[in-house]
């Protein structure tokens, strides 16, 4: 299953966020979408999920325009994880997972996979944000959709579960799923993605292999902040150059 | 996992007990299960049964309507009158009382008014929950102003009749029972068929859409269902408050939130509450009657405030 965009333009209100975007995302690929606030990352995911109509251009799922798919059929092929759902109405974790269209995977296995067994009977509003985020990841895992759209999957998670989450994503991509992942942590992006899409604050963008695009010079331009590269035997990390108290504003 | 079935059974017991109590209570205490004089049997058959059953149907319709509207606007504090459908129904009923008169005028006027109110709110359905809620509140205010205008123009006997109707009046229901029960059963079935989609909508519109639910259609179905049930309830019994707000809320806390339990349990709870309120309204100052809308407020408001306080403890 392939997801393709052609000359895609996306708008929020009268603000143009993305224009002339042409991407082809295939099985087994992990794409990361990076960019400053308001550059259109979440908007792009909503458009790819079929929830938001493009201002121009088209999105093709398996060669067929996304809006031509019936919502239920589209829902079986494209899964989305984003902002936490409303907990106002008092659903339990188990009830929330029951709302996911799933054919092969079982809620019990999803609970186990995301280490939520003990919380199954709890109501969503009794959980912490990190626990609710894991419930959302379990809901995503439960869907056997070939394409997963993830909007900041590691947000709210503690360190161990951040690592756990990225391992899980890598494993799913190896099984042939297409993953499109919005991230703010450059090290995490570098760790899992093989393709990258950089969205700038204007409507321009750049797409390509993550090795080429996730370089410090490139990212410093996109985010407008200085970066450090930390190298260790197990890999490298890109860290924003935070100013610690007492240090000079300009190091190096 | 605790199962909601036993709790649904408790809701059914509550409704049944309320109905038995509603038959027994009144100007005179009667035994609803026979062993009375022929006179008692006649009072039961011709007066109390029809009244208790229409109270049950109206309560069920209002409670389900409240549950649907809460899901539609994504706010557990919404209620059946929030989109202005009852307000426009009141305008219709009062105009009918003023211009036509007679027993059948208020229900027919109310139903026509409710239809007009539904048509007025429909263009705003596609704008999403928040703006729909705002449009409903503003429209309800407009209908409220028109009610005030209409009342100010009424002469004395009509004014009394209109105020009695507005406070909720189960004693002069002109809507045939089969229509109320049939509509309630149909609405319940439609609601259960779409139960999973309604659950998804309760997570939020984007979540529902990405899970494969046709949100635009579902919104339209919900508005039509809620308006039809509210319109019918208002036509049968005037504007009875609080049932549609309190019952679904209590059911969510006590029984569960998934619509396939929420809707039948709300119907049972709404039926039980309104029958009970009406029985109290008839019995407390017998042979006179209190307005049933005042009774539901007296029973409902303290319960609701208590639930609200408990809820704050839960979510903070």
pLDDT digits (tens, 9 = 90+) for A144-170: 899 999 999 999 999 999 999 999 999
| Predicted confidence band of residue B304 (pLDDT cuts 50, 70, 90) | confident
Residue of B255, B275, B274, B278 whose CA lies nearest to B265: B255
CA B289 to chain centre: 20
pLDDT of residue B2: 60
Q: Are A168 and A115 in contact (CB under 8 A)?
A: no
Whole-number Å distance between alpha carbons of B277 and B298: 9
Architecture of domain B5-315: Orthogonal Bundle (1.10)
Mean residue pLDDT of chain B comes to 88
Residue A220, domain member (yes or no) = no
| Predicted confidence band of residue B4 (pLDDT cuts 50, 70, 90) | confident
Orientation of helix B215-237 relative to helix B195-203, angle to 10°: 110
- pLDDT above 90 coverage of chain B, percent: 46
- Domain boundaries, given as residue ranges, for chain B: 5-315
For B67, the closest chain A residue by CA position comes to: A89
Where is B222: in which H helix or E strand?
A: helix B215-237
Residue B315 has pLDDT above 60, yes or no: no
Residue A80, domain member (yes or no) = yes
Residue of A189, A191, A242, A192 whose CA lies nearest to A219: A189
Q: Does the distance separating the beta carbons of A89 and B257 come in below 8 Å?
A: yes
Whole-number Å distance between alpha carbons of B271 and B303: 17
Supply the CATH number for residue A47's domain.
Answer: 3.40.50.300
Residue B197 has pLDDT above 90, yes or no: yes
- DSSP class of residue A138 equals H
Angle value at C-alpha B182, between B181 and B184, nearest 5 degrees: 65
Q: Does the distance separating the beta carbons of A98 and B2 come in below 8 Å?
A: no
Residue A201, domain member (yes or no) = yes
How, if at all, do strands A64-65 and A195-199 pair? unpaired
Question: How far apart, in Å, are the Cα atoms of A159 and each of A130, A162, A237, B102, B251?
Answer: 11, 5, 15, 73, 39
A153-177 per-residue burial string, b: 16 or more CB within 10 A, e: under 16: bbbbbeeebbebbbebbeebbeeeb
Q: Does the distance separating the beta carbons of B212 and A72 come in below 8 Å?
A: yes
Q: Does the distance separating the beta carbons of A88 and B76 come in below 8 Å?
A: yes
Which of B:173-202 have CB within 8 Å of A?
Answer: 196, 199-200, 202
Q: Does the distance separating the beta carbons of B203 and A85 come in below 8 Å?
A: yes
A36, burial (CB in 10 Å: exposed 0-12, middle 13-18, buried 19+): middle
Whole-number Å distance between alpha carbons of A58 and A75: 18
Q: Are A52 and A11 in contact (CB under 8 A)?
A: no
| Predicted confidence band of residue B45 (pLDDT cuts 50, 70, 90) | confident
* Three-state secondary structure readout of B100-141: CCCCCHHHHHHHHHHHHHHHHHHHHHHHCHHHHHHHHHHHHH
Two tokens at B73? 């606007």
Residue A236, domain member (yes or no) = no
Please give, rounded to a whole number of angstroms, the shortest distance from the CA of A119 to a CA of chain B: 11
Average pLDDT over residues B148-172: 86
Domain count along chain A: 1
| Predicted confidence band of residue A246 (pLDDT cuts 50, 70, 90) | low
Q: Are A208 and A196 in contact (CB under 8 A)?
A: yes
Average pLDDT over residues B243-272: 91
| Predicted confidence band of residue B83 (pLDDT cuts 50, 70, 90) | confident
Indicate which of B77, B129, B200, B210 best probes the interface with A, i.e. most A CBs within 10 Å of its own CB: B210
Give residue A57's domain range. 3-214
pLDDT of residue B314: 46
Two tokens at A144? 């056997």
pLDDT of residue A251: 47
Residues of A in CB contact (< 8 Å) with B are 46, 49-51, 71-76, 78-80, 82-83, 85-92, 94-96, 98-101, 120-121, 123, 125-126
For A99-155, how does the pLDDT look when each residue is reduced to its tens digit (9 = 90+)?
998 889 999 999 999 999 999 999 999 999 999 999 999 999 999 899 999 999 999
Two tokens at B48? 């109390």
């Amino acid at each position: 299953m392939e997801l393709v965009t052609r000359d895609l333009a996306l708008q929020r209100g009268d603000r143009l966020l993305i224009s002339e975007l042409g991407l082809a995302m295939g099985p087994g690929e992990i794409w990361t979408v990076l960019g400053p606030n308001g550059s259109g990352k979440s908007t792009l995911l909503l458009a790819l999920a079929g929830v938001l109509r493009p201002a121009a251009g088209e999105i093709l799922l398996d060669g067929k325009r996304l809006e031509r798919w019936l919502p239920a059929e589209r829902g079986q092929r494209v899964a989305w994880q984003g902002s936490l759902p409303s907990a106002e109405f008092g659903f339990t974790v188990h009830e929330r997972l029951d709302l996911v269209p799933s054919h092969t995977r079982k809620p019990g296995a999803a609970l186990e996979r995301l280490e939520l067994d003990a919380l199954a009977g709890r109501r969503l509003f009794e959980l912490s944000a990190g626990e609710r985020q894991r419930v959302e990841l379990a809901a995503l895992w439960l869907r056997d959709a070939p394409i997963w759209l993830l909007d900041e999957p590691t947000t709210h998670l503690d360190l161990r579960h951040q690592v756990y989450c990225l391992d899980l994503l890598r494993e799913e991509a190896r099984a042939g799923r297409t993953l499109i992942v919005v991230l703010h942590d450059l090290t995490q992006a570098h760790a899992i993605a093989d393709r990258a899409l950089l969205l700038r604050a204007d409507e321009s963008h750049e797409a390509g292999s993550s090795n080429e695009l996730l370089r410090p010079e490139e990212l410093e331009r996109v985010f407008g902040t200085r970066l450090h590269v930390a190298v260790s035997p197990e890999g490298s990390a890109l860290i924003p150059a935070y100013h610690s108290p007492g240090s000079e504003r300009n190091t190096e | 996992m605790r199962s909601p079935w036993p709790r649904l059974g408790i809701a059914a017991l509550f409704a049944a007990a309320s109905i038995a109590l509603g038959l027994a209570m009144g100007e005179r205490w009667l035994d609803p299960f026979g062993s009375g004089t022929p006179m008692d049997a006649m009072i039961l058959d011709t007066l109390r049964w029809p009244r208790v059953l229409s109270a049950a149907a109206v309560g069920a319709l209002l409670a389900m309507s409240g549950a649907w509207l809460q899901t539609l606007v994504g706010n557990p504090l919404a209620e059946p009158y929030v989109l202005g459908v009852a307000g426009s129904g009141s305008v219709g009923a009062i105009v009918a009382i003023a211009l036509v008169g007679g027993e059948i005028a208020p229900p027919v006027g109310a139903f026509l008014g409710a239809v007009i109110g539904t048509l007025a709110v429909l263009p705003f359905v596609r704008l999403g929950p928040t703006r729909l809620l705002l449009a409903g509140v503003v429209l309800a205010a407009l209908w409220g102003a028109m009610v005030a205008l209409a009342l100010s123009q009424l002469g004395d006997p009509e004014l009394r009749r209109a105020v009695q109707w507005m406070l909720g009046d189960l004693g002069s229901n002109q809507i045939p029972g089969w229509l109320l029960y049939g509509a309630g059963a149909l609405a319940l079935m439609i609601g259960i068929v779409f139960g999973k989609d309604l659950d998804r909508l309760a997570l939020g519109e984007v979540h529902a859409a990405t899970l494969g639910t046709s949100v635009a259609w579902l919104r339209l179905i919900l508005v039509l269902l809620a308006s039809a049930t509210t319109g019918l309830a208002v036509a049968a019994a005037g504007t009875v408050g609080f049932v549609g707000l309190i019952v679904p809320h209590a059911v969510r806390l006590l029984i569960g939130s998934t619509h396939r339990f929420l809707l039948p349990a709300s119907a049972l709870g709404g039926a039980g509450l309104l029958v009970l309120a009406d029985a109290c309204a008839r019995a407390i100052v017998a042979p006179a009657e209190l307005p049933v809308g005042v009774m539901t407020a007296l029973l409902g408001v303290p319960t609701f405030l208590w639930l609200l306080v408990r809820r704050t403890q839960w979510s903070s």
